[in-house]
Amino acid sequence: SSSSSSSSKNGSKNGSKNGSSVAAAFAGKSAQPAEIMVKGSCATKHERRALVQAPFDVTILAVPAAEAAHIAGEMLPASVTDVLRRIEYDNRVAVALVLDHSLVAAVATIFDGAAELTLDLDDQHCGVHLMAWQDAKRTALDGRSVPGVPHGSPVTVVTHSICGADSETAADQAIEALALRLGIACAVL
């Protein structure tokens, strides 16, 4: 399966190379805690969805930076909203490949002790930027198998496309990149 994700051109994973200045500017806005009125929906134990409107001391927005600037608007200093509006994103596609356990030794060989490989540094025509062996991030459960992959469990590899890839092309390129490294036909995957 595949899903889209975004990452910031400005540097860090939090989407802003100026993240610390944003936090500092917001923290310095006022010595008094601000009351933030939030209106939205949430799930409760007794109702599937309930409308909530209540004051909060802190609100976390998990949205693109420009939308956060729009939502928070007047509650933030102008310098902070300006930084948020200038953050740019690039489009990448993440593709998760869940493979049969019979490929665990071959996958372990291509990663050679690493959890991630950057592919487009050596091959400028490769449509895959990063390949990550998710199982390598886990410890061995039975002491005999490759770390993180219990006997019979599937092997999981996630790829991240180069900038601007579409989901169909990215899925094909992920399969091609892994098949090439494993020395098998794409049809096997």
Q: What is the tens place of the pLDDT at every residue in 140-185?
A: 544 555 556 677 788 999 999 998 888 889 999 999 999 999 999 9
Query: Residue 10: what pLDDT?
Result: 38
The distance of Cα 11 from the centroid of its chain, to the nearest Å, equals: 14
Query: Residue range 75-102: average pLDDT?
Result: 90
Query: Residue 158: what pLDDT?
Result: 95
From CA 1, how far away is CA 97, in angstroms rounded?
7
Q: What is the pLDDT of residues 21-36, one digit of tens each?
A: 444 444 444 444 445 5
What's the burial of 176, exposed, middle or buried (CB within 10 Å: 0-12/13-18/19+)? Answer: middle
From CA 100, how far away is CA 142, in angstroms rounded?
18
Query: Residue 113: what pLDDT?
Result: 85
pTM: 0.56
